[in-house]
Structure 1
Amino acid sequence: MLGSLGLVIPVRDDLRVLEGYHSPQVDVDVRLNTNESPLSPPDAFRDALAAELSRIEWHRYPDRAATELRRAIADWHGVDPSMVFAANGSNEVLQTILLTYAGAGRRVATFEPTYQMHAQIARVVGSEVVEGERNADFTLDPDELRRVVDEYDPHVTFLTSPNNPTGLVEPSERIGELLDVTNGLVVADEAYAQFADWSALELLDDDRPLVVTRTFSKTWSMAGVRLGYAIGPAWFVDELEKVVLPYHLDAVKQLAGRVALRFVDDMNERVRLIVDERERLSTTMRGMPIDVTPSGANFILFRPTSIGGRDLWQQLLDRSILVRDCSGWPRLADCLRVTVGTPDENDAFITALKEILT
C-alpha cells in the first residue's frame, strides 16, 4: 500500500500472498454464475416493506440486539431466540465465528473443494488453515475426516451442505461422526439448505458444539439485502455478541428480514420451481458429453468430456451466457458451475450447450 507521502506501508506478512474473492461480472443476456435466485420476491413483500420503511425512526440507532428479527427467525425454525445470531450476510456471520473461535495460533479445517471464503476469512483473521481432501466424486471419506481431526485438532471445522461448488449434500452421519471425534466447533454452512432434503438443524443440541449458518440471499431472493444468521447453542451466541461491532445490523435489514418471514409459502414455491428446473437441467445435461455432479442446491457443477472447461466457458460467453469457471481452481480441472435460472434462461443455456458440444 502507498502512503500519502509516497511511503510503502506494508500489510501483515501473512496477507501478502492472499488474493480477494472474485466472481467476474460481465454484461450478458443470461447470468448464471453467482447462485442468486432467478426469481424476485413477491410484489406483496415489496409493498409490505415499503409501508414499513415509512415508519422507521431514521434518527435513532437500530435495535442493537435485533430482537424482533431474531424472534421471527427463531419462530420459523422452532428454536429459542437466544440461539439466533444475525449479521450482514452469512459471510459476516462466518467472520464473527472465526474472530471468536479461531484467530492467531488456532487452526481451521476445511475439506476441499468447498466454499473458498471459509479458508479466506480464516487466513484474514490470522488462523492456520488445514485442508482435508475429498474423494474423486467429491464425497467425504470418514477416514479422511478422522485423519484431519487426529492430526491437527482444529478449533473450527467447516462442513458445507449442500457443498459449494459441488452441490453435494453432506449425509447426517458424516456430521455426527465429526461431532464424535472433534474437540472444536463444527460449522455446518447451509446457505443452500432449503434446496436439499435434510438439514443439520436436526442435530442441534445445547451440549453439542454444532452451529448452522444460513442466508436470505438464495431462497429468499434477497441477495441485495445482505442478511444472514447462525443458529446454535445459546452459549455460542453469547460469545459472538462479545465480538461483533455495536449496531452492526441496520434497521432496514432487520425490517426486510422480518417482512420476508411473512411470506414463507411464497419462498417454498420458488424453491420448488428451482428444484424442478435443476432436475430438468441435470437430466438434459447427462444426455450430452458431460459429467454432471448430483446437486442438492440451486446450481450444478459439471465437467465437459469433449472440450476443455475454459473453452466451453468462453464459447458460452460468446453466446452471452455467463456461468462460473471453476477450471482453474485446485481439484476442479475443466469444471464449470451453472446457477439454475428461469425456464427461459435454462433453455438458452441448454440450446447453447447443444450447439457447442454436438
Structure 2
Amino acid sequence: MSEIEALLREELRGQPPYGAPQLDVPVQLNTNENAFAIPEDVAAVVAEFIGRELRGLNRYPDRDAVALRADLAAYLGHGLTADHVWAANGSNEILQQLLQAFGGPGRTVLGFMPSYSMHPLLARGTGTAFVDAGREDGYTLSPAYVARAIAAHDPDLVFLVSPNNPTGTALDPAVVEAAYEAARGVVVVDEAYAEFARDPGTTALRLLPGRRRLVVTRTLSKAFAFAGARVGYLAADPELVEKLLLVRLPYHLSSITQAAARGALACAAQLQAEVDELKHQRDRIVKHLRAKGLPVADSDANFVLVGGLTDAAAVWRLILDRGVLIRDVGLPGRLRVTAGTEEETTALLDAFEAAMTDRPEYFATDAEQIEQHSEESKLREPHRAHRPHHG
C-alpha cells in the first residue's frame, strides 16, 4: 500500500472511479445520451439567455437559483412552486446533497440493485452505508417486496429508480406509496428518464402532496439533450428543500448554467418532438429484436435491455466490430442499448442481425434455451450485480 493510499479513507481504498469506455466509433449507443443535437432554433434561444449574463460575470450568481427553480416548477406542473424545487450540477449532485443532509456516517441508504450504479458510489463518498435489497424475478419490484426490505433494514434513506436503469422499466406508483408508508426516512424516486415513459401518469410527482419525506429527482441531461450542461433538480416539500441549503456549496450553480437551463426550458415544446422520435426508435428496437426471438422487455426509458445472450461479452465485441458501441452493464446474458437516430438505430439492428447470422451460438432464441439461460443467469447474478456501468 502506498503512502497516499494509506491516508485515504478505508472504504475508498482499492475502489475504481466511475466511468465507461468511450471509443471512437461511428455509432455510440452506450451512455443513454440524447441522440439529437440541440436544434438551431433552440440553440439560438439558449445563446440569448446566456448572452444576458455575460456582462455580469464579475458578480457571483444567484446562489439559490430562484428564477431557474421557478421555471422548473412551471415545467413540472402538479401545483409546484420554486420553493418545492432545488437545482444543482446534474442529478448526481442532487443525490449527493441528499446523502450529505440525510445520510452520512452511522446512517444507511437502501437500494434495489441492479439499478443506477452511482447510488452505492455516492453513498460511499458521503460515508453512508449502502444496503442492497436486490430485486424479484425479472428484476421487478412489488409493493410487498419493497415494504419488507425497508422493515428489515430500517434505512435512513430509500432509493427507487423509475424508469429503472439498466432495465428500463417504470415502477407502479403503488411501490412508491408502499415504500413511503414503510419508511421512517427520506424516500427518493430517481426519475432521470421520466419523459420517455409510455404512461406519464406513473410519475411520483403526483404523490408529493402530503408526503413531506418524498423526493423526486429529475435531470435535463436526457429529454432536453443537455448532458453537457450538467443540470439536475428535485421536487419535494419546501422544508426538505430548505435543509439542502445546509450542505450546498456557495454559488454552486453558475450564472451561465442557470441561464442555459432557463433557455432550454423555454423550448421544452420543441425538444419534446425529439423525445417522441427517440421513443419511436426505442420501440422499434424492442419490436425488431423480439421478432428475431430475443427476450426484450418493454422500456419506459431511452434505452433497451436486450436478453437471450449466451455470451454477452462476445456479442458486445461483435456489435463493436461493426462500428456500434453499446453497454455491457454486468448482467449475465444481457446488454443495454441506447435508442439513437433512425440511422443509428438501423446500424444497431443491422449489427445484431449480422452477429446472429455469423455466431448463432451466442444467442438463445427459442423458448427452451431462453428459459434455461435465464435460470443460469439468476444463479450467477448476485456475483455481478454491482459491476459499475455508466449512464
- Same-fold status (TM-score > 0.5): yes
What SS does the corresponding residue of 1:270 show, helix, strand or coil? helix
Question: Distance in 1 between the 2:51 and 2:87 partners?
Answer: 23
**Could you say what secondary structure the match of 1:243 adopts?**
coil
What is residue 138 of structure 1 aligned with on the other side? 139
Tell me how far 1:199 sits from its aligned partner: 0.7
Q: Which moved more, 1:218-227 or 1:42-51?
A: 42-51
Deviates more, 1:258-267 or 1:219-228: 258-267
CA distance in 2, matches of 1:52, 1:155: 40
2:20 is aligned, of 20, 23, 37, to 23
2 CA distance for matches of 1:280 and 1:92?
Answer: 33
**TM-score where L is the length of structure 1:** 0.94
* 2: CA distance, partners of 1:141 / 1:82: 32
- Post-superposition offset of 1:9: 4.8
Q: How does 1:224-303 map to 2 (within 5 A)?
A: 224-303=228-307
Give CA deviations for 1:215-262 in whole Å, capped at 9, x if unaligned: 000000011100000110001100101110000000111001111111
Change in Cα spacing, 1:8 to 1:99, as seen in structure 2 (3 Å) is: closer
Matches within 5 A, 1:122-137: 122-137=123-138
Q: Is the 8 A contact 2:116 2:166 kept in 1?
A: yes
Per-residue CA distance 1:251-284 (angstroms, 9 max, x = gap) = 1110011111111211221111111111111000
Tell me if 1:340 matches 2:339: yes
Q: Which runs of 5+ in 1 are unaligned?
A: none
Aligned-partner SS, 2:229: coil
State the 1:141 CA deviation.
3.1
Q: Which runs of 4+ in 1 moved over 3 A?
A: none
Q: Alpha carbon RMSD of aligned pairs, Å?
A: 1.5
- Aligned 8 A contact 1:102 1:108 in 2: yes
Change (3 A) 1:320 1:352: same
Determine if contact 1:28/1:322 at 8 Å carries over to the other structure.
Answer: yes
1:324 equivalent in alignment to 2:323: no
Contact 2:85–2:235 under 8 Å retained in 1: yes
d(CA) in 2 for partners of 1:215 and 1:146? Answer: 27
- The residue type paired with residue 315 of structure 2 is L
| Distance of 1:8 and 1:30 partners within structure 2 | 38
Deviation of 1:294 (Å): 1.9
Amino acid at match of 1:195: F
Alignment of 1:44-193 (within 5 A): 44-56=41-53, 57-78=56-77, 79-193=80-194
Q: C-alpha displacement at 1:32, in angstroms?
A: 0.1
Q: Which stretch shows the higher mean deviation, 30-39 or 284-293?
A: 284-293
Q: Distance in 1 between matches of 2:108 and 2:326?
A: 33
Matched, 1:217 2:221: yes
CA distance in 2, matches of 1:320, 1:52: 38
Match of 1:51, as an amino acid? E
- Give the letter for the 1:170 counterpart: L
What is the deviation of 1:136? Answer: 2.4
Q: Contact 2:216–2:236 at 8 Å: present in 1 too? A: yes
254-263 or 42-51, larger mean C-alpha shift: 42-51
Q: Which one has the bigger strand percentage?
A: 1
Structure 2 residue ranges without an equivalent (≥5) = 358-391
Q: Supply the distance in 2 between the matched residues of 1:245 and 1:207 (Cα, whole angstroms).
A: 27
Change (3 A) 1:8 1:184: closer
Superposition TM-score, scaled by structure 2 size: 0.87
Is residue 50–residue 260 contact of structure 2 (8 Å, CA) maintained in 1? no
Tell me whether 1:354 sits opposite 2:358 in the alignment. no
- How much has 1:206 moved relative to structure 2? 4.3
Instruction: Tell me the distance in 2 between the aligned counterparts of 1:18 and 1:243.
Output: 25
Structure 1 SS opposite 2:119: helix
Code of the aligned partner of 1:235: E
| Bigger helix share | 2
Structure 2 partner of 1:37: 34
Task: Report if aligned partners of 2:104, 2:126 keep a CA contact under 8 Å in 1.
Answer: yes
Q: Contact (CA 8 Å) 1:309, 1:333: kept in 2 or not?
A: yes
SS at match of 1:292: coil
Quote the Cα distance in structure 2 between the aligned partners of 1:220 and 1:283: 25
Q: CA deviation at 1:8?
A: 5.8
Deviation digits for residues 50-92 of structure 1, max 9, x if unmatched? 2333332111111111111011111222311011100000000
Rounded to whole Å, the distance in 1 between the matches of 2:210 and 2:70 is 18
**When the two structures are aligned, how many residues end up with a matched partner?**
350
1:17-76 per-position Cα deviation (integer Å, ceiling 9, x unaligned): 432222111000000000000112221221122233333211111111111101111122
Q: Cα distance, 1:207 vs. partner?
A: 3.7
Aligned match of 1:311 in 295, 311, 314? 314
Percent identical: 39
**Which region of structure 1 is more displaced relative to structure 2, 44-53 or 336-345?**
44-53
**CA–CA distance in structure 2, aligned partners of residues 199 and 346 of structure 1:** 27
Contact preservation (8 Å) 1:289, 1:357:
no
